[in-house]
Structure 1
Amino acid sequence: MSTYAWELRKLVAQRRTLIGLVVAVLIPLAFAIGLAVNPAKPPAAGETIDPDVYITLAYNSSGLVLPLIALFFSSLVLLPLLAALVAGDIVAAEDVNQTLKTVLTRSTSRLRLLGAKAGATATYVVLLLVLFGVSGTVIGAVAGGANPVPLGGVPLGPTGFTLGAHEIGVGAMLGRIALAVAIYAMPLLAVSAWGFLLSTVTRNSGAAIVGMLVFSFANQIIGFLPSIPESVTRWLLTDQFTAWQTALGTAVDTAPIWHALLVSVVYGVPPLVLSAWWFRRRDVLV
């Protein structure tokens, strides 16, 4: 069995992995229940429609919007937290359980072992988002109907929007959902790389999980400061968590997507390199 397959097998056997995946499936259900109890209401005449309000109102016309509603409200805190459960634990747990030196007695190098753990972490994050997207799509279709999604319309009352000049068909909307999740995966993987680094360096799962979330929140705080120009905030990692919203336009704007990919690579590669450098030099016997 390859080192990567072995790491996946260990992840599957861990309770926190199962908890993260189950919660990812249940998040859209919670939003569907919330929208059923408290339906979205159109804004008053002349009131500006924010993106979150627009997406929520669109749910009145099509249940296929549900995964995007859940993604909008979960993207900055909840989903990074679920990713941190594994990214911050996968290396540190070996130190806590004192199994690292035993693992390294197998015929594998340190870098291969660390690469397998990084690959297993990325696999978990991607699977987390796939389950999130599939669950939201299925639950939304059942609860609100698999109908075309209106774009560019105006509020027409409690039943939703007028279709305006454009709408996204069911098949195209499924593709937009997949695209949105894929775009969101890029910064989430980059944030997870920092959790992976902290897991490798601190040898403490709790510290690594909290540190990963603090890193994410610090980016958000900097982005919210009024004196920080947009030329700076657009290079913050958490600013890329909104790039998926380009999938909702009449036509998909690829420029923010490529920018999000570039920023995610710039943030995600250095912690992996530092993890490899540190892990290769450290004494595994202490």
Structure 2
Amino acid sequence: MSATATAPAIDDNVASTRPVSVARGYRFELVKLVSQWRIRLLVLACWIAPALFVAAVSQQSTLPSDTLFGRWMHATGWAGPLMMLGFAGTWALPLLTSLVAGDVFAAEDRLGTWRHLLVAVRSPRRIFAAKALASLTVILLLVAGLAVSSTVGGLLAVGDHPLVGLDGHLLTPSDAAGKVLLAWVCVLAPTLALAGIGLLGSVALGRSPMGLLLPALVALAMQLAQMLPLPVAVRLALPGYAFIAWHGLFTTPAQVAPLLIGVAVSLVWAATGTALAYLFFIRRDFTNPTSDGAGRRAVTTGVLPLAGLLALTVAVVAVATPSTGSGIVRSKVQRSVATAFAHLYRIQTEQLNRPAVTEAQLRVTAACNKGDGQVAPHGAGNDWRCVVTWHLPGVEAAGTAIYQLDVTSDGRYVADGDGPKEVNGYFLVRTPIGNAPNPLWQFDGDVDLLS
């Protein structure tokens, strides 16, 4: 009888020492994050500021033509979220991951609350899972705010009109909507890679401010690397390449291979960074209040695996991809310029109420050289020059136009018209309903590095 009386007491004691579930810990960590004024301001800014910015820029007389899709913000509301996506991949997303994932563990070191948290949860593994999931949720909320807000701002300010792709072809509003959504989804992969690095820095560097800055510094280093004349394999093996690989969605056919490689590499980096952060965390000595995880061994153990991962991805991509060197050669540039010109010429023909013509009838070709023929015609540079030739039905003489190209290392280029003035000499063309932007005056294009 005494045994049956004491059994419930023993069961209650065992139940009281069980670790807190991951779901309860996740809710607790999420409330802690969104209770910070800094996070609340970030959420408000991401859900409000892009709409106001895109709407304001779309109403200006001067557009950011040096920004991808910026020249089309007067024409369609779908250009706004793409212009914002380019800015977000360069600056906003690295900073957001630094402020969220880079501080989620370091905050406990600054406040000295690790022992209290361990007593409450009683499982370092569940603490890590709850904090990682909470930071991921906030990051997804911020990215969704940037995408939704910029899209709403563009559609309300300009409207749901067709979008001109990077090869000059027109995307219907429904097609543009799907590609814009897919582009924002694709940049989640490099954002998660930076978040994994942020978790690693937050755990390994403790209260040091370098843990907070690590994702932003890594993103900056990858952006600088993308500006260098690197081989294609090295460029694709960097996790930040997926921030620009979405450009290939807006060509026909879509440049899928570089995008898939960039997304896969980013996800591998995200998993590796998170796994390293987990190993650091569960091996940490929480009984020593002076230990915050920082140290030479922690930094070395975190840096060496990532360096090895970079070398491995470079080797795998080099074997898997057919291109060598920069991937930018004369034949690709000529093909891209000719295709874009043919599509845009048809748009201009429609603007001017001229007889319709097809790409097959135009038979557009481009002859390009670099450095006035004094240097080898490959690689990035602002010294590319192309002469475009086309034919009109019933006209014996061929038409010609000249373009100066500024080709960047990632394959994107801006073609600036250099005559004749009737085709590409002016920013505006006179149409039956008034002046309209001349699509052939200046246009963006993209060279497939792997084709």
TM-score bracket for this pair, using the shorter chain length: 0.7 to 0.9
1:40 equivalent in structure 2: 63
Instruction: State how far apart, in whole Å, the 2-side matches of 1:207 and 1:191 are.
Output: 14
| Counterpart residue identity of residue 18, structure 1 | R
Which range moved further: 117-126 or 24-33?
24-33
Matches within 5 A, 1:124-203: 124-151=138-165, 166-203=169-206
Q: CA RMSD in A?
A: 2.2
Question: TM-score scaled by structure 2?
Answer: 0.55
CA distance in 1 between counterparts of 2:165 and 2:266 reads 29
Which residue number in structure 1 is paired with residue 81 of structure 2? 67
Pair 1:212-2:215 in alignment: yes
- Measure the CA separation in 2 of the matches of 1:29 and 1:79: 19
Q: Would the aligned equivalents of 2:238 and 2:262 in 1 still touch at CA under 8 Å?
A: no
Task: Write the distance in 1 (CA, Å) between the matches of 2:284 and 2:258.
Answer: 39
Secondary structure of 1:89's aligned partner: coil
Are the structure 2 counterparts of residues 103 and 22 from structure 1 closer, same or farther at C-alpha, using a change threshold of 3 Å?
A: same
Q: Per residue, is there more helix in 1 or in 2?
A: 1
1:221 lines up with 2:224 in the alignment? yes
Query: Does residue 27 of structure 2 align to residue 13 of structure 1?
Result: no
Unaligned runs of 5+ in 1: 43-49, 155-165
Between the aligned partners of 2:228 and 2:173, the Cα distance in structure 1 is 39
Q: Report SS of the residue matched to 2:120.
A: coil
Query: Would you say the 8 A contact 1:28–1:67 is kept in 2?
Result: no
**Alpha-carbon separation, structure 1, partners of 2:90 and 2:221:** 11
SS of 1:2's equivalent in the other structure is helix
- 2:260 alignment partner AA: W
Write 1 or 2 for the structure with the bigger share of strand. 2
SS in 1 for 2:237: coil
CA positional deviation for 1:152: 6.4
Please, which of 54, 75, 97 is the counterpart of residue 111 of structure 2?
A: 97
3-state secondary structure, aligned to 1:204: coil
Distance 1:263 1:57, change over 3 A: same
CA apart distance, 1:107: 3.8
Runs of 5+ consecutive residues of structure 2 not aligned to the other structure: 1-22, 290-451
Q: Distance in 2 between matches of 1:136 and 1:41?
A: 15
* Contact in 2 for aligned 1:63/1:145 (Cα 8 Å): yes
Change (3 A) 1:152 1:82: closer
Question: Could you say which residue in structure 2 is the equivalent of 1:158?
Answer: none
Tell me how far apart the structure 2 counterparts of residues 6 and 205 of structure 1 sit (CA, whole Å). Answer: 25
Alignment: residue pair count: 265
The CA distance in 2 between the partners of 1:269 and 1:217, in whole Å, is 21
Does residue 1:85 correspond to 2:95, yes or no?
Answer: no
Post-superposition CA distance 1:75-119 (Å, at most 9, x none): 122221022111111111011111121111124421111111111
The Cα shift of 1:264 comes to 0.7
Point out the structure with max Rg over C-alpha: 2
Residue 90 of structure 2 aligns to a residue whose secondary structure is coil
Provide the rounded CA distance (Å) in 1 between the counterparts of 2:211 and 2:52.
29
Deviation digits for residues 31-58 of structure 1, max 9, x if unmatched? 432343353387xxxxxxx7x34x1122
Residue type at the aligned position of 1:167: L
Q: 1:281 aligns with which of 264, 283, 299?
A: 283
